[in-house]
Chains A and B, each alone.
Chain A
Amino acid sequence: MSFSDADLIARVLLREDQNAFGELVRRYQSPVRGFLARLANGDAHLADDLAQETFVKAWRKIGTFRSDAKFSTWLFGIACNEWRMHARRRKELALEELAEPSAGLAEAEAATASNLRLDLAAAMKLLTTAERAAIVLCCQNGLSHDEAAQALGCPLGTVKTNVLRGREKLKRALAV
């Protein structure tokens, strides 16, 4: 028998049922870890650490979850905050910053210039963190622009712009 997200959340809220919460983790571990891995430029260990902290925070704060949003959107929001805190700690790029791609990506830029086809992972590194987050949520995880704006904690227009810019950059880099 398969329970809906709402059923599982209700069991966690009423009985602090760790089995129900475990089922929620099993359902969403892959998209959350994948999202964080994209933000971390493929660093799977860092992504897993942040994802674990995301789910622990979700357990602590599940009482604040409002059922008018999807559980996945809420989780992506927590994951995003975890990434922001990590970025602040390491003085890296915060999501709000629309910084230029790092100098280490010169090789990828050169490949684009010479019309060589980049693979998607390398092309994604050409995007700013904000663009990458918007593309992963909207184009890979099926969130609407509204939901992505809610998860990323930024205005709807910013998400739309980031998706548009990100897509243009990817199209140029991948020559599609």
Chain B
Amino acid sequence: MKNEMPLPPEKNDPLDELLRGAVEYLPDNGFTARVLTALPAKRSHAWRRLVVLTMAVLAGAALAAWQLPAILGVLHQSIPKHWSAIQWPWLATFAALVAALASLVWAMFAIVNEEE
């Protein structure tokens, strides 16, 4: 760390004396506490969050790649001919699929927008 000496004041210069004399110590008066309160969350937390989200996306993607063909096959075979023919088991499977895809999209969106 540089330890450069400050400029030597001009000898017997009343302006320098006046300027130095005008420097007063400002009491803290809670300033430090306000700064500490305003500090953003620890960066390590953000880093951990990023890791968790990435793991979740990878796990979700792997699970989807493994199970999606089977689920789509079941849905395709039992696709209802009319809206009135929709049955609860089919609807539940379809809703679960939509929720899983939405979660995956949300997780990827969160990673992309992760604050550095």
The A/B interface has a contact count, at CB < 8 Å, of 90
The answer to whether B1 and A51 have CB atoms under 8 Å apart is: no
Task: Count A interface residues, CB 8 Å.
Answer: 42
Residues on the A chain within 8 Å of B40, using CB: 56, 59-60
Q: How far is the CA of A27 from the CA of B36 in the complex (A)?
A: 14
**Which of B1, B6, B42 has the largest number of chain A CB atoms within 10 A?**
B1
Closest to A18 in B: B36
The answer to whether A26 and B32 have CB atoms under 8 Å apart is: yes
The answer to whether B31 and A33 have CB atoms under 8 Å apart is: yes
The answer to whether B7 and A138 have CB atoms under 8 Å apart is: yes
Task: Report which of B1, B9, B39, B42 forms a contact with A5, defined as CB distance below 8 A.
Answer: B1
Residues on the B chain within 8 Å of A18, using CB: 36, 39
Main secondary structure of the interface of A (DSSP, over half): helix
Q: How far is the CA of A22 from the CA of B38 in the complex (A)?
A: 12
* Shortest Cβ distance from residue A134 to the other chain B in the assembled complex, whole angstroms: 11
Binding site for B on A (CB under 8 A): 5-6, 16, 18, 21-22, 25-26, 29-30, 33-34, 48, 51-52, 55-56, 59-60, 67-71, 120-121, 135, 138-147, 167, 170-171, 174, 176
The answer to whether B19 and A120 have CB atoms under 8 Å apart is: yes
Residues on the A chain within 8 Å of B1, using CB: 5-6, 67-71
